[in-house]
Protein backbone atom coordinates (compact mmCIF):
# COMPACT_ATOMS: atom_id res chain seq x y z
CA UNK A 1 0.00 0.00 0.00
CA UNK A 2 1.23 3.52 -0.83
CA UNK A 3 0.62 5.91 2.07
CA UNK A 4 1.24 9.65 2.31
CA UNK A 5 1.48 11.28 5.75
CA UNK A 6 0.89 15.06 5.97
CA UNK A 7 2.08 16.93 9.07
CA UNK A 8 2.04 20.55 10.23
CA UNK A 9 5.52 20.23 11.76
CA UNK A 10 8.66 18.24 11.09
CA UNK A 11 8.57 15.19 13.41
CA UNK A 12 12.32 15.34 14.03
CA UNK A 13 13.57 15.45 16.73
CA UNK A 14 10.97 13.33 18.51
CA UNK A 15 10.74 15.63 21.52
CA UNK A 16 6.97 15.80 21.95
CA UNK A 17 3.79 13.80 21.64
CA UNK A 18 2.97 14.75 18.04
CA UNK A 19 6.36 13.82 16.50
CA UNK A 20 6.57 10.63 18.57
CA UNK A 21 3.15 9.48 17.35
CA UNK A 22 3.91 10.35 13.73
CA UNK A 23 7.31 8.62 13.65
CA UNK A 24 6.06 5.53 15.45
CA UNK A 25 3.23 5.26 12.93
CA UNK A 26 5.62 5.57 10.01
CA UNK A 27 8.00 2.97 11.51
CA UNK A 28 5.13 0.57 12.06
CA UNK A 29 3.87 0.98 8.49
CA UNK A 30 7.37 0.54 7.03
CA UNK A 31 7.94 -2.57 9.14
CA UNK A 32 4.74 -4.04 7.71
CA UNK A 33 6.10 -3.53 4.19
CA UNK A 34 4.16 -0.46 3.09
CA UNK A 35 5.60 2.38 0.98
CA UNK A 36 5.43 5.58 3.02
CA UNK A 37 5.94 9.23 2.09
CA UNK A 38 6.06 12.13 4.53
CA UNK A 39 5.40 15.73 3.51
CA UNK A 40 5.79 18.19 6.36
CA UNK A 41 5.37 21.87 7.01
CA UNK A 42 8.42 23.16 8.85
CA UNK A 43 7.01 25.99 10.93
CA UNK A 44 9.97 26.18 13.31
CA UNK A 45 12.63 25.89 10.59
CA UNK A 46 13.71 22.84 12.54
CA UNK A 47 17.04 21.56 11.19
CA UNK A 48 18.64 19.26 13.71
CA UNK A 49 21.43 16.73 13.65
CA UNK A 50 19.66 13.48 12.82
CA UNK A 51 20.37 10.62 15.21
CA UNK A 52 20.84 7.07 13.99
CA UNK A 53 17.16 6.16 14.45
CA UNK A 54 16.11 9.18 12.37
CA UNK A 55 18.63 8.39 9.63
CA UNK A 56 17.43 4.80 9.49
CA UNK A 57 13.79 5.89 9.19
CA UNK A 58 14.52 8.61 6.61
CA UNK A 59 16.40 6.11 4.45
CA UNK A 60 13.22 4.04 4.16
CA UNK A 61 10.70 6.74 3.19
CA UNK A 62 10.16 9.52 0.68
CA UNK A 63 10.46 12.75 2.69
CA UNK A 64 9.96 16.42 1.87
CA UNK A 65 9.74 19.43 4.19
CA UNK A 66 8.73 22.99 3.40
CA UNK A 67 9.69 26.00 5.53
CA UNK A 68 6.75 28.16 6.50
CA UNK A 69 6.51 31.33 8.61
CA UNK A 70 3.63 30.99 11.10
CA UNK A 71 4.48 34.10 13.11
CA UNK A 72 1.61 36.54 13.45
CA UNK A 73 2.00 40.24 14.24
CA UNK A 74 0.01 42.05 16.94
CA UNK A 75 -1.76 43.96 14.17
CA UNK A 76 -2.75 40.73 12.41
CA UNK A 77 -4.10 39.34 15.69
CA UNK A 78 -6.14 42.51 16.19
CA UNK A 79 -7.50 42.39 12.64
CA UNK A 80 -8.39 38.73 13.08
CA UNK A 81 -10.80 39.67 15.88
CA UNK A 82 -13.15 40.91 13.13
CA UNK A 83 -12.74 37.77 11.03
CA UNK A 84 -14.84 34.60 11.02
CA UNK A 85 -11.81 32.31 11.17
CA UNK A 86 -9.01 31.76 13.68
CA UNK A 87 -5.46 32.88 12.89
CA UNK A 88 -4.29 29.81 14.83
CA UNK A 89 -5.43 27.75 11.85
CA UNK A 90 -5.11 30.23 8.97
CA UNK A 91 -1.40 30.87 9.60
CA UNK A 92 -0.62 27.31 8.48
CA UNK A 93 -1.89 27.91 4.97
CA UNK A 94 0.81 28.63 2.39
CA UNK A 95 0.03 28.65 -1.36
CA UNK A 96 3.60 27.59 -2.22
CA UNK A 97 3.34 24.56 0.02
CA UNK A 98 0.04 23.71 -1.65
CA UNK A 99 1.82 23.77 -5.03
CA UNK A 100 4.57 21.50 -3.65
CA UNK A 101 1.93 19.11 -2.39
CA UNK A 102 0.15 19.05 -5.74
CA UNK A 103 3.46 18.26 -7.48
CA UNK A 104 3.96 15.37 -5.05
CA UNK A 105 0.49 14.03 -5.87
CA UNK A 106 1.26 14.18 -9.59
CA UNK A 107 4.50 12.25 -9.08
CA UNK A 108 2.95 9.36 -7.14
CA UNK A 109 -0.40 7.63 -6.89
CA UNK A 110 -1.36 6.96 -3.30
CA UNK A 111 -3.85 4.53 -1.79
CA UNK A 112 -4.18 6.45 1.48
CA UNK A 113 -3.37 10.02 2.49
CA UNK A 114 -3.39 10.63 6.23
CA UNK A 115 -3.85 14.17 7.59
CA UNK A 116 -2.15 14.38 10.98
CA UNK A 117 -4.32 16.89 12.81
CA UNK A 118 -6.59 19.80 11.96
CA UNK A 119 -3.92 22.25 10.76
CA UNK A 120 -3.06 20.30 7.59
CA UNK A 121 -6.74 19.95 6.72
CA UNK A 122 -6.34 23.39 5.11
CA UNK A 123 -4.99 21.46 2.11
CA UNK A 124 -7.85 18.96 1.93
CA UNK A 125 -9.56 20.49 -1.10
CA UNK A 126 -6.34 20.59 -3.13
CA UNK A 127 -5.52 16.99 -2.22
CA UNK A 128 -8.97 15.72 -3.11
CA UNK A 129 -8.84 17.53 -6.46
CA UNK A 130 -5.50 15.96 -7.44
CA UNK A 131 -5.68 12.48 -5.90
CA UNK A 132 -8.00 9.49 -5.91
CA UNK A 133 -6.59 8.22 -2.61
CA UNK A 134 -8.76 7.61 0.43
CA UNK A 135 -8.34 10.52 2.82
CA UNK A 136 -7.94 9.71 6.52
CA UNK A 137 -8.07 12.37 9.22
CA UNK A 138 -6.23 11.49 12.43
CA UNK A 139 -7.61 13.67 15.19
CA UNK A 140 -4.88 14.16 17.78
CA UNK A 141 -7.47 15.97 19.89
CA UNK A 142 -10.74 17.84 19.46
CA UNK A 143 -9.09 21.16 18.78
CA UNK A 144 -11.93 23.45 19.86
CA UNK A 145 -12.16 21.61 23.20
CA UNK A 146 -8.56 22.56 23.97
CA UNK A 147 -9.40 26.24 23.58
CA UNK A 148 -12.74 25.97 25.38
CA UNK A 149 -11.12 24.25 28.37
CA UNK A 150 -8.41 26.91 28.44
CA UNK A 151 -11.14 29.53 28.48
CA UNK A 152 -12.88 27.77 31.37
CA UNK A 153 -9.67 28.00 33.42
CA UNK A 154 -9.37 31.78 33.03
CA UNK A 155 -10.63 34.33 35.54
CA UNK A 156 -9.66 37.40 33.51
CA UNK A 157 -12.82 38.36 31.53
CA UNK A 158 -10.88 39.51 28.45
CA UNK A 159 -8.71 36.37 28.23
CA UNK A 160 -11.75 34.20 28.87
CA UNK A 161 -13.80 35.79 26.10
CA UNK A 162 -10.83 35.83 23.70
CA UNK A 163 -10.16 32.11 24.12
CA UNK A 164 -13.88 31.35 23.92
CA UNK A 165 -14.06 33.26 20.64
CA UNK A 166 -11.29 31.15 19.12
CA UNK A 167 -12.88 27.96 20.46
CA UNK A 168 -16.11 28.85 18.66
CA UNK A 169 -14.36 29.68 15.38
CA UNK A 170 -12.24 26.52 15.49
CA UNK A 171 -15.32 24.42 16.22
CA UNK A 172 -17.09 25.92 13.20
CA UNK A 173 -14.09 25.01 11.06
CA UNK A 174 -13.91 21.48 12.48
CA UNK A 175 -17.60 20.93 11.79
CA UNK A 176 -17.10 22.04 8.18
CA UNK A 177 -14.22 19.60 7.66
CA UNK A 178 -15.16 16.41 9.50
CA UNK A 179 -17.41 14.78 6.92
CA UNK A 180 -15.12 15.81 4.05
CA UNK A 181 -12.74 12.91 4.71
CA UNK A 182 -13.33 9.23 4.00
CA UNK A 183 -12.70 8.18 7.60
CA UNK A 184 -11.34 9.41 10.94
CA UNK A 185 -8.94 7.83 13.44
CA UNK A 186 -9.03 9.01 17.06
CA UNK A 187 -7.01 8.07 20.13
CA UNK A 188 -9.81 7.95 22.70
CA UNK A 189 -13.41 6.81 23.09
CA UNK A 190 -14.21 10.28 24.47
CA UNK A 191 -13.06 11.89 21.21
CA UNK A 192 -15.12 9.45 19.15
CA UNK A 193 -18.21 10.23 21.22
CA UNK A 194 -17.65 13.96 20.70
CA UNK A 195 -17.29 13.59 16.93
CA UNK A 196 -20.49 11.56 16.77
CA UNK A 197 -22.26 14.29 18.75
CA UNK A 198 -20.99 16.74 16.13
CA UNK A 199 -22.87 14.78 13.47
CA UNK A 200 -19.96 12.89 11.91
CA UNK A 201 -21.31 10.34 9.44
CA UNK A 202 -18.09 8.74 8.16
CA UNK A 203 -16.36 5.76 9.85
CA UNK A 204 -14.48 6.54 13.08
CA UNK A 205 -11.93 4.13 14.55
CA UNK A 206 -10.35 4.30 18.02
CA UNK A 207 -6.62 3.56 17.76
CA UNK A 208 -4.54 4.30 20.89
CA UNK A 209 -1.04 5.75 20.85
CA UNK A 210 1.41 3.02 19.87
CA UNK A 211 5.03 2.92 21.02
CA UNK A 212 8.01 0.65 20.41
CA UNK A 213 8.29 -0.98 23.83
CA UNK A 214 11.82 -2.21 23.06
CA UNK A 215 13.00 1.42 23.44
CA UNK A 216 11.75 1.69 27.02
CA UNK A 217 14.15 -0.09 29.36
CA UNK A 218 13.93 1.14 32.97
CA UNK A 219 17.04 0.86 35.14
CA UNK A 220 16.13 1.47 38.78
CA UNK A 221 19.78 1.55 39.83
CA UNK A 222 19.94 4.98 38.18
CA UNK A 223 16.67 6.30 39.64
CA UNK A 224 16.61 8.93 42.37
CA UNK A 225 14.01 8.15 45.00
CA UNK A 226 12.09 10.09 46.02
CA UNK A 227 11.97 12.66 43.24
CA UNK A 228 9.16 14.40 41.34
CA UNK A 229 9.35 15.39 37.70
CA UNK A 230 7.42 16.93 34.85
CA UNK A 231 8.37 16.46 31.19
CA UNK A 232 6.53 18.14 28.35
CA UNK A 233 6.67 20.74 25.62
CA UNK A 234 5.67 24.14 26.96
CA UNK A 235 4.86 25.58 23.56
CA UNK A 236 1.56 23.71 24.05
CA UNK A 237 -0.55 26.03 26.19
CA UNK A 238 -2.32 23.34 28.31
CA UNK A 239 1.09 21.97 29.40
CA UNK A 240 2.35 25.43 30.29
CA UNK A 241 -0.72 26.43 32.27
CA UNK A 242 -0.86 23.07 34.06
CA UNK A 243 2.73 23.21 35.28
CA UNK A 244 2.35 26.86 36.27
CA UNK A 245 -0.65 25.92 38.39
CA UNK A 246 1.31 23.13 40.04
CA UNK A 247 4.42 25.17 40.84
CA UNK A 248 2.49 28.19 42.09
CA UNK A 249 0.34 26.01 44.36
CA UNK A 250 3.10 23.69 45.59
CA UNK A 251 6.07 26.06 45.76
CA UNK A 252 5.79 26.53 49.52
CA UNK A 253 5.10 22.84 50.20
CA UNK A 254 8.15 21.78 48.17
CA UNK A 255 10.54 24.40 49.52
CA UNK A 256 9.48 24.85 53.16
CA UNK A 257 6.66 22.40 53.81
CA UNK A 258 6.21 18.70 54.52
CA UNK A 259 6.85 17.48 50.97
CA UNK A 260 10.54 16.69 51.32
CA UNK A 261 11.26 15.93 47.70
CA UNK A 262 13.14 17.53 44.81
CA UNK A 263 11.09 18.59 41.80
CA UNK A 264 12.49 18.68 38.24
CA UNK A 265 10.89 20.39 35.22
CA UNK A 266 12.15 19.51 31.73
CA UNK A 267 10.97 19.97 28.16
CA UNK A 268 11.43 22.12 25.11
CA UNK A 269 10.29 25.73 24.67
CA UNK A 270 10.28 26.56 28.38
CA UNK A 271 9.82 30.36 28.69
CA UNK A 272 12.66 32.33 30.30
CA UNK A 273 10.32 33.54 33.04
CA UNK A 274 10.20 29.97 34.35
CA UNK A 275 13.73 30.54 35.66
CA UNK A 276 12.06 32.49 38.47
CA UNK A 277 10.54 29.23 39.71
CA UNK A 278 13.98 27.68 40.23
CA UNK A 279 14.82 27.20 43.93
CA UNK A 280 18.33 25.99 44.70
CA UNK A 281 18.31 22.39 45.88
CA UNK A 282 14.50 22.14 45.76
CA UNK A 283 12.98 23.04 42.36
CA UNK A 284 15.03 22.59 39.20
CA UNK A 285 13.98 24.15 35.88
CA UNK A 286 16.17 22.15 33.51
CA UNK A 287 14.79 23.05 30.08
CA UNK A 288 15.31 20.73 27.14
CA UNK A 289 17.24 17.56 28.00
CA UNK A 290 19.56 15.66 25.64
CA UNK A 291 17.91 12.29 26.26
CA UNK A 292 14.28 12.37 27.41
CA UNK A 293 14.11 8.69 28.36
CA UNK A 294 17.34 8.94 30.35
CA UNK A 295 15.81 11.88 32.22
CA UNK A 296 12.59 9.94 32.88
CA UNK A 297 14.57 6.93 34.10
CA UNK A 298 16.58 9.08 36.51
CA UNK A 299 13.46 10.28 38.40
CA UNK A 300 10.79 8.29 40.22
CA UNK A 301 7.39 10.03 40.34
CA UNK A 302 5.88 11.74 37.30
CA UNK A 303 3.25 14.46 37.66
CA UNK A 304 0.79 15.46 34.92
CA UNK A 305 -1.28 18.41 36.22
CA UNK A 306 -3.30 19.03 33.05
CA UNK A 307 -6.43 21.13 33.52
CA UNK A 308 -7.24 21.52 29.81
CA UNK A 309 -6.41 19.83 26.52
CA UNK A 310 -7.64 16.70 24.81
CA UNK A 311 -6.62 13.49 23.09
CA UNK A 312 -4.18 11.05 24.65
CA UNK A 313 -1.04 12.23 26.44
CA UNK A 314 1.94 10.52 24.85
CA UNK A 315 4.20 11.43 27.78
CA UNK A 316 1.97 9.39 30.10
CA UNK A 317 2.15 6.43 27.73
CA UNK A 318 5.95 6.76 27.67
CA UNK A 319 6.10 7.19 31.43
CA UNK A 320 4.05 4.05 31.93
CA UNK A 321 6.32 2.16 29.55
CA UNK A 322 9.25 3.28 31.73
CA UNK A 323 7.45 1.88 34.81
CA UNK A 324 7.00 5.29 36.38
CA UNK A 325 4.61 5.97 39.22
CA UNK A 326 2.40 8.70 37.68
CA UNK A 327 0.12 11.20 39.40
CA UNK A 328 -2.21 12.80 36.86
CA UNK A 329 -5.49 14.61 36.59
CA UNK A 330 -8.30 12.53 35.12
CA UNK A 331 -8.18 14.84 32.08
CA UNK A 332 -4.45 14.19 31.64
CA UNK A 333 -5.03 10.43 31.70
CA UNK A 334 -8.03 10.63 29.35
CA UNK A 335 -8.21 7.77 26.86
CA UNK A 336 -5.87 5.46 28.75
CA UNK A 337 -7.55 2.33 30.12
CA UNK A 338 -6.18 2.94 33.62
CA UNK A 339 -7.25 1.71 37.05
CA UNK A 340 -6.82 4.45 39.66
CA UNK A 341 -4.51 3.32 42.44
CA UNK A 342 -3.36 0.29 40.45
CA UNK A 343 -1.38 1.57 37.45
CA UNK A 344 -1.73 5.33 37.95
CA UNK A 345 -2.89 7.75 40.65
CA UNK A 346 -5.57 10.28 39.78
CA UNK A 347 -5.54 13.71 41.46
CA UNK A 348 -7.76 16.59 40.34
CA UNK A 349 -7.10 19.31 42.90
CA UNK A 350 -4.54 20.57 45.38
CA UNK A 351 -5.57 18.28 48.24
CA UNK A 352 -5.59 15.17 46.07
CA UNK A 353 -2.17 15.99 44.58
CA UNK A 354 -0.78 16.71 48.04
CA UNK A 355 -2.05 13.42 49.51
CA UNK A 356 -0.82 11.43 46.49
CA UNK A 357 2.67 12.98 46.58
CA UNK A 358 2.99 12.48 50.34
CA UNK A 359 1.97 8.82 49.98
CA UNK A 360 4.35 8.14 47.09
CA UNK A 361 7.49 9.79 48.48
CA UNK A 362 7.11 7.73 51.66
CA UNK A 363 6.64 4.32 49.99
CA UNK A 364 9.08 3.26 47.28
CA UNK A 365 7.65 -0.24 46.96
CA UNK A 366 4.18 1.14 46.33
CA UNK A 367 5.58 3.36 43.57
CA UNK A 368 7.35 0.42 41.96
CA UNK A 369 4.15 -1.64 42.06
CA UNK A 370 2.19 1.15 40.33
CA UNK A 371 4.94 1.38 37.70
CA UNK A 372 5.06 -2.36 37.07
CA UNK A 373 1.30 -2.48 36.53
CA UNK A 374 1.56 0.50 34.20
CA UNK A 375 4.13 -1.28 32.05
CA UNK A 376 1.87 -4.33 31.80
CA UNK A 377 -0.95 -2.10 30.55
CA UNK A 378 1.31 -0.66 27.85
CA UNK A 379 2.34 -4.12 26.70
CA UNK A 380 -1.29 -5.19 26.45
CA UNK A 381 -2.73 -2.12 24.70
CA UNK A 382 -0.05 0.20 23.30
CA UNK A 383 2.47 -1.99 21.47
CA UNK A 384 3.09 -0.13 18.20
CA UNK A 385 3.10 -3.33 16.16
CA UNK A 386 -0.40 -4.25 17.36
CA UNK A 387 -1.72 -0.70 16.96
CA UNK A 388 -0.27 -0.26 13.45
CA UNK A 389 -1.76 -3.57 12.31
CA UNK A 390 -5.17 -2.29 13.42
CA UNK A 391 -4.51 0.99 11.55
CA UNK A 392 -3.78 -0.93 8.33
CA UNK A 393 -6.94 -3.03 8.83
CA UNK A 394 -8.82 0.28 9.14
CA UNK A 395 -7.29 1.56 5.90
CA UNK A 396 -8.30 -1.64 4.10
CA UNK A 397 -11.86 -1.39 5.39
CA UNK A 398 -12.11 2.12 3.90
CA UNK A 399 -10.44 1.25 0.57
Tell me what the pLDDT averaged over the chain comes to.
93
Residue 50 above 90 pLDDT?
no
Which pLDDT score, from 0 to 100, does residue 147 have? 82
Q: What percentage of the chain reaches a pLDDT higher than 70?
A: 97
Q: What is the pLDDT of residues 334-374, one digit of tens each?
A: 999 999 999 999 999 999 999 999 999 999 999 999 999 99
Q: What is the pLDDT of residues 88-123, one digit of tens each?
A: 898 999 999 999 999 999 999 999 999 999 999 999
Residue 47 above 70 pLDDT?
no
Q: How many residues does the chain have?
A: 399
Written out in words, the top-level CATH class of the domain with range 2-210+383-398 is alpha beta
Helix locations, 314-363, DSSP H: 314-321, 350-361
Query: Rounded distance, CA 27 to CA 3, Å?
Result: 12
Structure pTM? Answer: 0.90
Distances (CA, A) of 217 to 55, 210, 289, 302, 318: 22, 16, 18, 16, 11
Query: Rounded distance, CA 399 to CA 376, Å?
Result: 34
Which pLDDT score, from 0 to 100, does residue 14 have? 82
Name the residue among 279, 268, 331 with its Cα closest to residue 305: 331
Residue 79 above 80 pLDDT?
no
Mean pLDDT for the stretch of residues 301-308: 94
Q: What is the pLDDT of residues 216-249, one digit of tens each?
A: 999 999 999 999 999 998 988 889 999 999 999 9
Which pLDDT score, from 0 to 100, does residue 51 have? 76
Name the residue among 71, 101, 75 with its Cα closest to residue 88: 71
Which pLDDT score, from 0 to 100, does residue 162 have? 84
CATH node for 214-381: 3.40.50.2000
Residue range(s) occupied by CATH 3.40.50.2000 in the chain = 2-210+383-398, 214-381
Amino acid sequence: MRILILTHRVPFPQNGGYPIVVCNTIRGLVNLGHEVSLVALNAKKNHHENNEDDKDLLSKINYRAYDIDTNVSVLEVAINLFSKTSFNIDRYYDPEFEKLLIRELRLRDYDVIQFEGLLVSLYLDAVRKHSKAKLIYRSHNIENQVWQRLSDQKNDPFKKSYLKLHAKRIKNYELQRLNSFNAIAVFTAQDKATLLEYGTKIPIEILPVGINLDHYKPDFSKTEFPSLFFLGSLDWLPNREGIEWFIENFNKELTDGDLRVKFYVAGNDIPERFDDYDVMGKIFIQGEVDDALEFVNSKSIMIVPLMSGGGMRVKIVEGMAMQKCIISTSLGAEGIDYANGTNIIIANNFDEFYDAIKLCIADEEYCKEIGLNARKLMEEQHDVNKVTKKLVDFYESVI
